[in-house]
Structure 1
Amino acid sequence: MHRSRVATLGVAALVLAACGGNGAGTPQKKTELTLYNDKGAWTKYFDEMGALSKQSIGLGMKPTGYTDSAQYQAFIKASFRTNVKPDLFTWQTGGMLAEIVKQKQVADTTAVWQEAIKAGDLSPDLAPYYTVGGKQYCVPMNVAYWGMFYNKKIFDKYDLKPPQTWDDLVKTAETLKKNGVKAFYHTSVLFSFVWFEQLMAGTDPDLYDRLSTGKAKYTDPGVVQVMERWKQLIDAGYFINPGDKTDPGDVLKTGKAAMVSFGTWFNTSMTTRSMKAGTDYDFFVIPNVNPALPKTSMIFESGPLCSLAKAADPDASMKYLKWWTTAQAQEKWATSRGDVSANPKVTISDPALGTVTKDAGGGKYRLVNRYFEATPPQILTAALDGFGKFVTEPGTYKEVLETIQKEADEYWSTHQ
């Protein structure tokens, strides 16, 4: 994750030079749009959407996918200062979206949202994640609800059922341990935040939200207690080695761990491994640590699909974003990837994911913004490093929290 900013921008500049430009100074009507994205592995799915949009609204779409997020972000930010303008691009909600809105670089989509909500194509519960200064920007490229994927054959072998309470989950982990099976997957790189966000949201979601806005400290007693609980789970021997480089999809398929916590997008990893939902694996909502909370906290993420304020053909870009929210587009997008949709009208073939999508859209859960989006980038970098250290050396949790808070103090002193 740590790259030379100069080198990254240099790469981006080369890409810009090689791509040629749309020439933002000359208005033009487009029949094919460029969609730059940081999801290079999804090129096939974007190609399918481009073919469908060409047929449906007369606008094709050609994707250019990056697999390195640092290079991608540098490229998009460089486009703000040049005549090379992507028609559409993916981004992140939270601080990163607010940053480019503040710079007046991203197109206002308030009208698209109002129309989509009225038509039942978008849930009003999603709108706050796309709202900056009372207006909406971008539309949901995807949504994901986080829970636990589990190896059903292992559960069946030991007569285990999806837990209804946190105590049930711990008992399940203990049963697996007694039978020589690691209960949980975790990692020391990138996704090192997963168990922190889950334990925080399931214990005190208000405190979690205050952390993300600088109204609470990482050294506060409630956060320390969450880290101590996390340490207890690690010390109990429920997790695999955090340095294990095995792909989490293979971890679950081979039974190296019985459970993997990820967003519903992880379902694609299962289907591409020829695993059958309900037979080989399944999904459950993770119970709250604190049973007194009024609603079960569910980690939620949504990746924006955006248009630049100075796009080459703003009308075409906006037309595409509007189409993207429709049931026709979302049916194709969700089905092709075996995932859920931001459109409540779309039927999800996987029963467990379909139920979660319906319940989440209907307000059954308290949706909690994923830590990766909720946390300002400067603090996030320190936290990912800190959690990565903690899962390897659990005894360092207080030192880790102090290091993250030091970065948070510095950030919030200039960002109120």
Structure 2
Amino acid sequence: MRRTRLLTAVVVTAALALSACGSGGDTKTEGKTQLKLYNDKGAWSPYFKEIGTLSQQQIGLGMEPVGYTDANTYDAFIKASFRTNVKPDLFTWHTGAQLAEIVKAGQVADTSSLWSDAVGKGYLPESLKQYYTFDGKQYCVPLNVAYWVMFYNKKVFDDAGLQPPKTWADMMDAAVKLKAKGVTPFYGTSQLFSFVWFQQLLIGQDPQLYNDLGTGKAKFTDPGVVKVMEQWKSLIDSGYMSDPGDKTEPQELLKSGKVAMAPFGTWFNTSMTQVGLKPGTDYGMFTIPNLNPANTKNTLLFESGPLCVLDKAPDKAASLKFAQWWLEPAAQEKWATSRGDVSANPKVTIPDPALNAINQSAGGSDVALASRFFELVPAPVLTAALDAFGAFTVKPADYQKQLATLQKAADDYWAKAGK
């Protein structure tokens, strides 16, 4: 898989180089009235287009999405653009170590003034700033925010006489009853989202250990991590997880009732409605309880995808103008309601009661937020982790081997980083 990613990067870089030599269409440096937003969310193109129409009307600056559906190809394209004349006006990225990497390389425009203005107007919460701050300055703005919750099929729950669980023990009891009725309790996969159950089990067991993995203070071979892998293995061995190699989309598995529950970010609400499911009627969502009941606060995994402007964007002023407008209530209301998700702007009201409940819960004193694993660890460690967790879901007995391989990748990274 690593070899495939490397080949993808080489191919994309070569294609960009040829494109840069053959066309100057994307290298215009001023006076733009139409921007292109490159993104790794191809399924969201209809919603981006609605935003582009609105921005044209309100600020005279249109936006056209260029969506990718393969994350590796997209990341390779963006990184290749740093070295060519074919540069995106706007692009989506990742917070955490992956954003830090391109900020450190001097590729991203400073958006500190946009943040100061937005926080002052109440368009962005102060608590969100830390995810975008490096050496006292802010870079990019929030494309979206999402909280990782459990989506569930309401009919399947009703047929089994179940209510959304309040504790981990309740959720395991529900799994037993669901399996007895021939329904697979949980969605699991060996693909891109292979990390989901690892992050959920570890953050619910030992939040400090989870966070220390992101800084190299803890090892993937530490006893606490091994224990979590054994718990994950137990769920698989008990038949509680769906086939990790099944290519069926998770929303389709939930819709059919073959799978009862699936852990995803609140953005998954869009996928559910796109297959004709009605929120509150066909499906619901609940905050996933801690694995360790001794933890006084329920830890809620959180992600915020950045919308970025290159420091050497084709028309930096136009791109920053769009980024500032993006944070305003009109833009955020259109963006959140069209997708059926929460907004980074607290002044936006979300019509879906379940999403509002999750949003309010996230800000409560009994909830602690934690970064999603995808953004928690540096990119080379993440790549190794996705491979390791994917292999584990196919052959759970090899968990010790996979953790050792993963830790070697982490050791190599932190040694080079001077840890």
TM-score by length of 1: 0.95
Structure 2 portions without partners, runs of 5+: none
AA at the equivalent of 1:308: L
The CA deviation at 1:16 is 4.1
1:11 aligns with 2:26: no
AA at the equivalent of 1:77: K
Counterpart Cα distance in 2 of 1:381 and 1:220: 20
How many residue pairs are counted as aligned between the two chains? 414
Partner of residue 184 from structure 2, selected from 177, 182, 185: 182
Counterpart Cα distance in 2 of 1:181 and 1:106: 47
Partner of residue 214 from structure 1, selected from 188, 213, 216: 216
Counterpart Cα distance in 2 of 1:306 and 1:318: 9
Following superposition, which runs of at least 4 residues in structure 1 exceed 6 angstroms of deviation? Answer: none
| Percent identity for Structure 1 against Structure 2 | 60
> Secondary structure of the residue that 2:335 maps to in structure 1?
helix
The CA deviation at 1:349 is 1.9
1:336 aligns with 2:338: yes
Partner of residue 370 from structure 1, selected from 349, 372, 388: 372
> Secondary structure of the residue that 2:185 maps to in structure 1?
coil
* Residues 273-284 of structure 1 aligned to structure 2 (within 5 Å): 273-284=275-286
The CA deviation at 1:154 is 0.7
1:119 aligns with 2:125: no
The CA deviation at 1:361 is 3.9
Q: What corresponds to 2:353 in structure 1?
A: 351
Partner of residue 47 from structure 1, selected from 46, 49, 57: 49
- Conserved? CA contact 1:21–1:83, under 8 Å: no
The CA deviation at 1:315 is 2.2
AA at the equivalent of 1:298: L
* Residues 17-416 of structure 1 aligned to structure 2 (within 5 Å): 17=21, 20-23=24-27, 26=29, 28-362=30-364, 364-415=366-417, 416=419
Counterpart Cα distance in 1 of 2:244 and 2:297: 31
- Conserved? CA contact 2:12–2:80, under 8 Å: no
Aligned-residue Cα RMSD (Å) equals 1.6
Counterpart Cα distance in 1 of 2:97 and 2:23: 29
Q: 1:168-226, CA deviations, whole angstroms, 9 ceiling, x for partnerless residues?
A: 11111011112221100101111111100000111111111100110100011111111
User: In structure 2, do the counterparts of structure 1 residues 16 and 43 end up closer, same or farther at CA, with 3 Å as the change threshold?
Assistant: farther
The CA deviation at 1:76 is 2.1
The CA deviation at 1:15 is 4.6
Structure 1 portions without partners, runs of 5+: none
- Conserved? CA contact 1:125–1:361, under 8 Å: no
The CA deviation at 1:14 is 4.0
TM-score by length of 2: 0.95
> Secondary structure of the residue that 1:186 maps to in structure 2?
coil
The CA deviation at 1:321 is 0.8
The CA deviation at 1:18 is 5.8
- Conserved? CA contact 2:16–2:84, under 8 Å: no
The CA deviation at 1:80 is 2.1
- Conserved? CA contact 2:19–2:86, under 8 Å: no
> Secondary structure of the residue that 1:259 maps to in structure 2?
strand
